[in-house]
Structures are given as structure tokens and as C-alpha cells.
Amino acid sequence: MARLNTQVGIVGAGPAGLLLAHLLHLNGIDSVVIENRSREHVIDRVRAGVLEQGTVDLLVAMGVGDGALRRGLRHEGLYISFKGRRHRIDMAELTGGKAITVYGQNEVVKDLIDARAATGRRLYFEAAHVSVDGLDASQPIIRFEHDGTDHELGCDFIAGCDGFHGICRPSIPDGALTVYERIYPFGWLGLLVEAAPSSDELVYTHHERGFALFSMRSPAVTRLYFQVPPDEPIQHWSDAAIWDELLARMTTSDGWKPNIGRIVQKSVTPMRSFVATPMRHARLFLAGDAAHIVPPTGAKGLNLAASDVLVLARALKAFYEHRREEWLDEYSDVCLRRVWKAQRFSWWMTSTLHHSPDGSAFDHQRQIADLDYLTSSRAAMTSLAEQYVGLPADVSLDSVGL
């Protein structure tokens, strides 16, 4: 048995865990990150790709933003397509110059793992049988097995950054959490395609056959999604059937359509909205997907993980520097204000753009009116733009020493 100690034990090396680890490092706070998958698996996982302006600003201020700035694709607008026509929303013009950056989550994670390695602080991949214990005690413990040796890590605090299926949230005693949840009657079939993007900006398509989204990962790789039933077996979709469906939904009356290429990855993701409150139990703090999930239509998941850990890092810094606990006490409330606004936005984007299997002809006409209003009213476009590029942070970069 190896016995270790640290100030903050972090479960999970996704965006939340790695960002928190580096923010703490920059403030001289020690942490140990424990991840149950391999380094390669964590880096190769294809997931989010849209970074809000504030997330890019955070990465840059932390000194880990070079990749996002150099290889990321800055988008100052996006398209909403319905009834066969694309309508551009100029986000930068409507928000005083803000934009989003398309930079794959796997790239963000790789940059952060490299940064962690350079600090010399501890990060365990392929940890088995991870569990947390003694959450109410002054020194909670994380247990795990690594390279055949049992480890016991004593911590001042534990950060549960282990995603929706992790072990931290289920370790909180029954009755301590309230869960709010909505399961949608559809999912997304997502594709990674070797083809140059045929649009410089994202295209969100409303179509009577169902929603579709055109996105990209690089000048040579297109990322496409389309709505399918939530439990759709991927083998039901041959490549030819996928292209037929995508072109039927996405082709606009001016002839715009995605470029066809080799499909290198495809998977189906069900969609849900989920919030567990409070995001703290005693000495355990939940952050990112461990505490909340949004449907990906609003592109908020990774960005919420970043804003949670900014709030947590501020609180931990104040605790270690001044023994102040009020920001630890406020952690959940501060995060949840932003989380619920992102939930509302993600739900609105989802319900406005998708074809609901139990929706009526009235619902369809209401969606069209919603989209017509959105693309013809400056006020409506401004509202979408300011939420899409990211609402202002509740916590300043100064407060975490950046």
C-alpha cells in the first residue's frame, strides 16, 4: 500500500480536471490527478469543439492557449438554415468583437496534459478501482490501484471532475442531492469526415426530416451531425445512406451543401439535460459533466466545465492564502447561476431546431416563426450571439492570479 498526500485530489483528467490542476499549480497549490483511462484514450476521444471567447481567454491567460490561437479556427458568425435558406448571424458585430474558436476538445486536453507533465506534478493514468471516502472528515481519501499497487491519497479537498458516469457524484449520500433532468426523444449521429469544410462557419439546419449541424475540426476535416432516434443502432446507417440523409437535410436553395469525403469516425450520442445540486458535499466539489450535462446544440458542455473550475480555483486560492471559506461555501450557487442559463440556452436551441417525434403541425409552424424572428430581429440575433460566444464570467481572471 502506497500512502500519499496532497492538497487537492482531482478525480478525472478531462477538461475540468486538467484545467483545475493547472490553475492550482499556477497558484502554488499541489494536486494529484487520477484518471482511470489511458493517456491515448483520453486524447483520442472526439467530443466538443466550440470554445467560447471566455474559455479561449482563460487558456491564453493560463499560458496554455498557443494551440487554440495558432491552430484554432476563429469564427465571428454562424448560419441558421431553415426552409432551404441560410441566414448569417454576425456574432462579432453584435457582441462588440467577440467570437468562438473551433478547436477540438482532444487538442485542448492534449495541450493541458503536456502542460501538466511540464510542471512535474502527479497525474496517474489507468488507475483502477478508484473510490472516494471520508468526505465529511477533515482529510478525505481517494483510493486507487496503479501498476498493481494499492494507493491511498489523503487530501484537504476532492474535486470530482470525473464526468457524468464517474464515481464522485454517486459517492454522495442518498438524499443530499436534488437532480433535475430532461431526456430528449432523439440523439445525434456524429461523423468525422476527411473533406475540406464547404463553409467557413457552422451551419445549424432546421428541416422537416430532422435537425442537422455542419461543423469542422480543421481546414481538412469536416464534422457533421444529424438527428436520429436516441437508441439508433449505428449499423443501420451505411455511408451511402448517411450522405443521402445529410444532403437531403442540408442542401440549400442556392446549392450549398457539405463536401463528401471518407467517414473516419461515426457514433450516436443520446441527448439529455441534467443538473445535480448542490455541486458540493462537505469536502467534495463536483465540476463539469460530473454535476451537469447539456444537449450539445448550444456547444456549452466544455465551456461550463471551464467556468466551474475557475470558480473553484478562486475559492481554493482564497482558502489557502487567507483561510477564507466563504467562496468555498458560495461555490455551488455561483456555478449554478451560469449552469442554469446555459441549460436554458441549450434547451432552447435544441427545442427550436429539432423535429420532435411527438410534435404537432402547430409546433412545426411555431419553430419556423421562432427562426424567422431570430434571423430578422437584431434584438433576437444579439440575444443568441451573446449567449453563443458566452455570457460574461461571474469570476474574474484576476481573482485566480491571472
Ligand X SMILES: Cc1cc2nc3c(=O)[nH]c(=O)nc-3n(C[C@H](O)[C@H](O)[C@H](O)COP(=O)(O)OP(=O)(O)OC[C@H]3O[C@@H](n4cnc5c(N)ncnc54)[C@H](O)[C@@H]3O)c2cc1C
Task: Based on the shown chain and the rule CB under 6 A, indicate whether residue 193 belongs to the binding site for ligand X.
Answer: no
254 vs 288, beta carbon nearer ligand X = 288
130 vs 316, beta carbon nearer ligand X = 130
Q: Which span (200-208, 246-254, 293-301, 357-365) binds ligand X, by CB under 6 A?
A: 293-301
What x-and-dash track marks residues 147-186 binding ligand X by CB under 6 A? --------------xxx--xx-------------------
161 close to 307: Cβ distance less than 8 angstroms? no
58 closest CA partner among 314, 250, 284:
314
Cα–Cα distance measured from residue 239 to residue 154, given in angstroms and rounded to the nearest whole number = 51
Cα–Cα distance measured from residue 338 to residue 317, given in angstroms and rounded to the nearest whole number = 21
Q: Which span (40-48, 63-71, 169-177, 245-253) binds ligand X, by CB under 6 A?
A: 40-48
- The minimum distance between CB 278 and ligand X, in angstroms, equals 17
How many residues of this chain bind ligand X (CB under 6 A)?
33
Catalytic option among 103, 204, 225, 331: 204
Q: What is the sign, positive or negative, of the torsion defined by CA atoms of 193, 199, 203, 207?
A: negative
- The minimum distance between CB 255 and ligand X, in angstroms, equals 27
Task: Based on the shown chain and the rule CB under 6 A, indicate whether residue 146 belongs to the binding site for ligand X.
Answer: no
Task: Based on the shown chain and the rule CB under 6 A, indicate whether residue 299 belongs to the binding site for ligand X.
Answer: yes
278 is catalytic: no
Contacting residue, 6, 8, 9, 14, with ligand X by CB under 6 A: 14
Contacting residue, 7, 27, 30, 37, with ligand X by CB under 6 A: 37
- The minimum distance between CB 269 and ligand X, in angstroms, equals 4
Cα–Cα distance measured from residue 345 to residue 80, given in angstroms and rounded to the nearest whole number = 15
106 vs 399, beta carbon nearer ligand X = 106
388 is catalytic: yes
65 vs 288, beta carbon nearer ligand X = 288
Q: Name the one residue in this structure whose C-alpha cell is 444532403.
A: 247
Catalytic option among 25, 292, 300, 354: 300
300 is catalytic: yes
The C-alpha cell at 339 is: 449552469
Contacting residue, 6, 8, 10, 13, with ligand X by CB under 6 A: 13
The C-alpha cell at 175 is: 438524499
Contacting residue, 47, 182, 341, 344, with ligand X by CB under 6 A: 47
- The minimum distance between CB 13 and ligand X, in angstroms, equals 5
182 close to 347: Cβ distance less than 8 angstroms? yes
Catalytic option among 296, 317, 331, 354: 296
The secondary structure of the chain in percent helix, strand, coil, rounded to multiples of 5, reads: 40, 30, 35
164 vs 320, beta carbon nearer ligand X = 164
Task: Based on the shown chain and the rule CB under 6 A, indicate whether residue 72 belongs to the binding site for ligand X.
Answer: no
Q: First-to-last CA distance in the chain?
A: 38
124 is catalytic: no
Per the DSSP assignment, residues forming a β-bridge with 133 are 141
The C-alpha cell at 312 is: 473553484
- The minimum distance between CB 371 and ligand X, in angstroms, equals 21
Query: In Å, what is the CA distance from 142 to each residue of 28, 123, 163, 200, 208?
Result: 21, 14, 16, 46, 50
* Cα 111 from chain centroid (whole Å): 16
H/E segment holding residue 53: helix 53-61
Query: In Å, what is the CA distance from 329 to each residue of 279, 324, 326, 353?
Result: 10, 10, 5, 38
292 vs 377, beta carbon nearer ligand X = 292
105 vs 375, beta carbon nearer ligand X = 105
129: left (phi over 0), alpha (psi -120 to 50) or beta: left
Q: Collect all residues with Cβ–Cβ distance below 8 Å to 317 and sequence separation of at least 6.
A: 27, 29, 399, 400, 401
- The minimum distance between CB 297 and ligand X, in angstroms, equals 9
83 is catalytic: no
Instruction: Give the binding site for ligand X (CB under 6 A).
Output: 11-17, 34-37, 42, 47-50, 105, 127, 130, 161-163, 166-167, 269, 288-289, 296, 299-302, 305
Catalytic positions: 75, 204, 296, 300, 388
